[in-house]
């Protein structure tokens, strides 16, 4: 799999650099980028060659919301690599969500044995080039909402499943069937691996973006999507199309200041806001049918 490293140079006042980095990463994600890292004078974005949309990238830069900075970029081809390899090798400490759920690194239980992780819901994750271990606020926000949901006998859709943590949690909380999909083939395989690791047998994983939903029959009682803002805005009509008449849509992956954009798009698709939560500036929204 061929990757490009796009090196963005941001020229402007030093105090504006970090804000510009964050806004730029948010704006150019529709060009296909899947990860970013800070650079001394800007930002480096990584994108699969086959998913790279240069026209979208140029448009995002030409309409960038900070006129006081100038952005230029160069493109280099890089060897395929596991961008999370160092983090994966280091692992993560058990993450508790209240006293009801613990997410642990299945590769390294010691020095904390599994028997000591006292929580009704225990989920083991081996992350391999995929997002979703509970270390990020958005994952914790979504799991917290699942803990309060009544999932017994329900059909659940996990959009952009990453490690599969949300679908696995839904299954363990009583969902009758879980369908998941991700555009990243590594995430698809990682979700399957983690489902087996947790003894989850009712989770089907598909490879692709929201267009795979055209091949899925029926509707869902709960739709989960922890993705970036721009993809959520683009895919929200698809989510609404597969949501049952009494179903709920849970969204996260964006900052609290972006919530009004998601609420407005949801309302255009005949959905109403039922609940909102936040942590460290990140947001989670729950919608239902109007």
- Chain segment 156-207, per-residue pLDDT in tens: 999 999 889 999 999 999 999 999 999 888 889 989 999 999 999 999 999 9
pLDDT-derived band at 107, boundaries 50, 70, 90: confident
What pLDDT does 131 receive?
56
Of 60-64, 73-77, 137-141, 191-195, minimum mean pLDDT range: 137-141
Could you tell me which residue, 93 or 209, shows the higher pLDDT? 209
Token readout for 288 is 């239902």
Q: Is the pLDDT of residue 279 over 60?
A: yes
Place of tokens 């055209």: 214
User: What average pLDDT score do residues 20-38 get?
Assistant: 85
**pLDDT at residue 105, as a whole number:** 81
In terms of phi and psi (left: phi > 0; alpha: psi -120 to 50; beta: otherwise), the region of 190 is alpha
85 has a pLDDT exceeding 50: yes
The pLDDT assigned to 50 comes to 80
Q: Assess whether pLDDT exceeds 70 at residue 74.
A: yes
Q: Which of 76-80, 85-89, 173-177 has the highest mean pLDDT?
A: 173-177
Q: How many other C-beta atoms can be found within 10 angstroms of the C-beta atom of residue 66?
A: 14
Q: Cα–Cα distance between 74 and 86 in angstroms, integer? A: 26
Q: Are 142 and 162 in contact (CB under 8 A)?
A: no
pLDDT score recorded for residue 133: 56
Lowest mean pLDDT among 16-25, 127-136, 224-233: 127-136
Q: What pLDDT, on a 0 to 100 scale, did the predictor assign at position 125? A: 82
Residues near 59 by beta carbon (within 8 Å), at least 6 away in sequence = none
Section 221-236 average pLDDT: 92
Which residue, among 242, 218, 239, 216, has the nearest Cα to 285 in the 3D structure? 239
Q: Annotate 98-115 with DSSP letters as a single string.
A: TTTEEEEETT--TTS-GG
SS3 3: strand
Q: How far apart are CA 104 and CA 125, in angstroms?
A: 6
Mean pLDDT over each residue of the chain, to the nearest integer: 87
Name the DSSP letter for residue 37. Answer: E
Checking if the pLDDT of 87 tops 50, the result is: no
pLDDT tens for 152-170 read: 999 999 999 988 999 999 9
268's tokens = 């255009």
Residue 35: beta bridge partners?
Answer: 46
Confidence of residue 115 (pLDDT cuts 50, 70, 90): low
Q: At what angle do helices 17-28 and 229-241 cross, to 10 degrees?
A: 30
Examine the pLDDT at 110 and tell me if it is beyond 70: no
Alpha-carbon distance values, 67 to 8, 10, 11, 25, 40 (Å): 16, 11, 11, 16, 20
Confidence of residue 111 (pLDDT cuts 50, 70, 90): very low
């Amino acid at each position: 799999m061929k990757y490009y490293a796009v090196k963005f140079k941001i020229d402007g006042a030093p105090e504006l650099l970090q804000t510009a980095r964050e806004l730029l990463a948010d704006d150019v994600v529709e060009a296909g980028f899947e990860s970013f890292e800070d650079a001394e004078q800007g930002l480096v974005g990584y994108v699969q060659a086959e998913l790279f949309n240069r026209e979208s990238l140029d448009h995002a830069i030409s309409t960038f919301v900070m006129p006081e900075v100038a952005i230029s970029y160069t493109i280099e081809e890089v060897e395929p690599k596991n961008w999370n390899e160092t983090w994966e090798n280091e692992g993560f400490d058990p993450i508790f969500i209240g006293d009801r759920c613990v997410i642990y690194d299945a590769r390294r239980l010691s020095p904390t044995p599994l028997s000591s992780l006292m929580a009704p819901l225990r989920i083991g994750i081996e992350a391999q080039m995929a997002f979703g271990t509970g270390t990020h606020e958005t994952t914790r926000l979504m799991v917290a909402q699942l803990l309060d949901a009544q999932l017994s006998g329900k059909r659940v859709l996990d959009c952009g499943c990453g490690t599969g943590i949300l679908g696995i949690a839904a299954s363990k909380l009583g969902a009758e069937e879980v369908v998941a999909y991700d555009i990243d083939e590594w995430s698809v395989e990682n979700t399957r691996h983690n489902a087996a690791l947790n003894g989850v047998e009712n989770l089907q994983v598909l490879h692709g973006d929201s267009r795979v939903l055209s091949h899925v029959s029926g509707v869902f009682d709960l739709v989960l999507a922890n993705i970036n803002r721009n993809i959520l805005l683009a895919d929200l009509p698809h989510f609404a199309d597969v949501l049952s008449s009494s179903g709920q849509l849970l969204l996260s992956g964006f900052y609290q200041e972006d919530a009004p954009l998601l609420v407005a798009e949801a309302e255009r698709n005949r959905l109403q806001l039922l609940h909102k939560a936040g942590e460290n500036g990140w947001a989670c929204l729950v919608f239902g049918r109007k």
